[in-house]
Structures are given as C-alpha cells and as structure tokens.
Amino acid sequence: MKGQSPVFVKSEAFMIWLLNHTAAFPKHERFRLAKRMDDALFDLHKALMQATYRANTQDWLREADIQLQYLRAYFRLALELRYTTPDQFHFVAEQLDEIGRLIGGWGKKA
C-alpha cells in the first residue's frame, strides 16, 4: 500500500471490514441487503479506479459519492433490522465520512 492514495488505503481497508460484516448477515439477507451493500462498495471502488485513469475524473468522483450515499442508506436499514449494532453503525459512519472527505478533497484538486 506504500505510495497509494489515502482514499484507496482507507476504502480498501473498509472493504475488508464490510465484506466480513455482510458475510455474518442472516442467510436470507445475504442475497438482498448484504448483496446491495457489497455491490455499492465494489461500485465505489470501481468509480475511484475510473477517476484515477479516465479523463472525466469529476464524473467518476460524483459516482463514487453516489455509492457512498447508497452505503449510508443501506447501513441505516441494516441498523433498523438489527444486522448492524449501534457501535458498528457509528464506526461505519466515521469511515464513510472520512472517505467522503478524501473524495471531496480529490475533487477540489482535479
């Protein structure tokens, strides 16, 4: 990870945590809510990669921000359904806020 952008370091560490978290969801939710959360996470990572290598960086950063919003919404639902504890929700909120700030800073520089 040395030399890698902070947004990638942070998002990849969060990916590992989230994939482990959604794997523990009840079996019937792994193909509903957990899949949507995992898909949003991978789409976020894809958008960040595209922003790195494509000319239309701002469009891809907006897409990454949209995926962050999906993750926030899905985690609120997971909290309501009690698949996520309040402590886990707080951790996720902090992680997503930090990733969002890193994306915003990247957008200002681009």
Segments making up each domain of the chain, as ranges:
6-21+30-109
pLDDT at 98: 97
CA dihedral (8, 11, 14, 15) in degrees, to 10, reads: -90
Are 78 and 34 in contact by the 8 Å Cβ rule? The answer is no
The whole-angstrom separation of Cα 58 and Cα 37 is 23
Are 48 and 4 in contact by the 8 Å Cβ rule? The answer is no
Are 40 and 67 in contact by the 8 Å Cβ rule? The answer is yes
The model's pLDDT over 12-55, given as tens digits with 9 standing for 90+, comes to: 999 999 999 999 999 998 899 999 999 999 999 999 999 999 88
User: Token pair 């929700």 is at which residue?
Assistant: 89
Which architecture does CATH list for 6-21+30-109?
Answer: Up-down Bundle (1.20)
pTM of the model: 0.91
